[in-house]
Amino acid sequence: MKSVFAKLATDFFSTIVFLLVYLVSDNVALATMVAIAGAVAQFVYARIKQQKLDVMTYASLALVILLGGATLLTKDPRFVLVKPSIAHFAIGAIMLRKGWMLRYSPDIVRDNIPHLVTIAGYAWAALMFALGLGTIAVAMTGDIKLWAFYVSVVAVGAKVAAFALQYGVFRIVITRKLRAEARAGNPLVSEPTHTKVYKAAR
């Protein structure tokens, strides 16, 4: 899961730059130009460091240049404001892959509630699509301050809340499952292993 959030931060780098510059300068054109420059610099840095670049990286750079250029030419900020929605949709599509979250889950989660992890993976995909649609709806208003609030508070807050909810549900379900097994004296669970796993769940 940590790598997923790291990927989100990377893909939204230009959006973060745009937001910060706009909040400081209140200048859409300047914020757009700095965001484009930041995206190009991010790409060049990745190439210099010989980092592995996926399709999303190239697509993100192309979108920043294309939509940012459209904003500068038309003086309409809505072009650049919709960019985060495309990243949300792309990440949501990746999250539709069955069981994608299992590789990011600790052993105790994979061993006890793999079905819930799969369901949670689809729930995260739905959240990404919802946030993407919300971004478009807010961007179409042309209200940059409203958009800034949405991407910095609503979208981020929704992800944090979803992560907290997931953690709480997983913890409760696993704890109940292990306690039930302990009461039933499940012969498939050896005492040392069970004790270790149960303590980890607590």
Count CB neighbours of 171 within 10 A.
14
Average pLDDT over residues 106-125: 91
Per-residue pLDDT at 17 exceeds 90: no
- The residue among 53 and 100 whose pLDDT is bigger is 100
- Phi then psi for residue 71, to 5 deg, are -65, -45
Q: What is the pLDDT of residues 54-63, one digit of tens each?
A: 666 777 788 8
Dist CA 124 CA 95 (whole Å): 7
Dist CA 68 CA 70 (whole Å): 5
Q: What is the DSSP letter of 189?
A: S
Per-residue pLDDT at 162 exceeds 80: yes
Nearest to 156 by CA among 61, 16, 1, 14: 16
pTM of the model: 0.72
**Torsion sign, CA atoms 31, 34, 35, 36:** positive
Where are the chain's structural domains? Answer: 2-201
Percentage, residues of the chain above pLDDT 70: 84
Per-residue pLDDT at 199 exceeds 50: no
Predicted local confidence at residue 58, as pLDDT: 78
Per-residue pLDDT at 190 exceeds 50: no
Nearest to 177 by CA among 107, 109, 118: 109
Average pLDDT over residues 69-94: 88
Stretch among 3-7, 82-86, 186-190 having the lowest mean pLDDT: 186-190
Predicted local confidence at residue 129, as pLDDT: 96
| pLDDT band (50, 70, 90) for residue 172 | very high
Per-residue pLDDT at 113 exceeds 50: yes
On average, the pLDDT of the chain sits at 83
| pLDDT band (50, 70, 90) for residue 202 | very low
Dist CA 138 CA 15 (whole Å): 15
